[in-house]
Amino acid sequence: MKIAPIIIISFFSIISIILVIASFFMDKNSEVFQLAVYYDWAFCILFIFDFFIRLIKADNLKKYLLKDGGLLDLAGSVPVIMEVRLLRFFRLFRLFRALKSYRLTRLFFLSSPHNAIYAAIFIVITFVIISTSFAVLYLEQATGNIKTAEDTIWWAFITVTTVGYGDYYPITSQGKFFASILIFNGFIAFGTLISFINTSLTEFRNQLPR
């Protein structure tokens, strides 16, 4: 059993629940709420992909769907759209799954510290991207040129990849502060990716017959 994907999905579930809870306090016509919808859809696509992977790999489909929470995983992948707002409570089942995975998390960190560090960095990077993009949109939409959820997603992508086209940029001091965090986050992301690839290739080479 691959523990790393379980841990990552569990923590992403918690981030998704935070988005759902926060959306209840947002103006439904605001760009900040629209940004939450976009990120929620991204998580839902990931969760539904995870569901089908588990479904395909399950030895017993009935057991997975009924006893192992497969149907709850599927129900918990409902995106934040107004027509199905009442179904948001199914997201809580993701939190229950995350809490149940505490033993797996502890086992993962003890048995595979290197992969655990990579997984933890990946989770933190994702959280930083989401939180800084929300902060910049909230701070800049009234005064800067980052005014819509679409602008924010494009700006966040360009910034974290350190490309920096310059078409969108923060102008407030607070916005620049969060942008600096995202730029630094991009350096860490690429450094981690290169290190992970190098480690994976080394392990693969060591497994080859000599």
CA–CA–CA angle 33, 23, 68 (5° rounding): 125
Q: CB–CB of 113/15 below 8 Å?
A: no
Could you give the dihedral angle defined by the CA atoms of residues 41, 42, 47 and 53, in that order, rounded to the nearest 10 degrees?
130
Q: Which fold is adopted by the domain 112-199?
A: Helix Hairpins (1.10.287)
Six-digit token string for 101: 């995975």
pLDDT in the model for residue 87: 54
Higher pLDDT, residue 104 or 152: 152
Find the mean pLDDT for residues 49-63.
83
Q: What's the sign of the alpha-carbon dihedral 120, 124, 127, 129?
A: negative
Instruction: Report the percentage of the chain scoring pLDDT > 90.
Output: 25
pLDDT tens per residue, range 152-207? 999 999 999 888 788 899 999 999 999 999 999 988 888 888 887 887 777 767 77
pLDDT in the model for residue 129: 93
Could you give the dihedral angle defined by the CA atoms of residues 194, 40, 38 and 15, in that order, rounded to the nearest 10 degrees?
-50
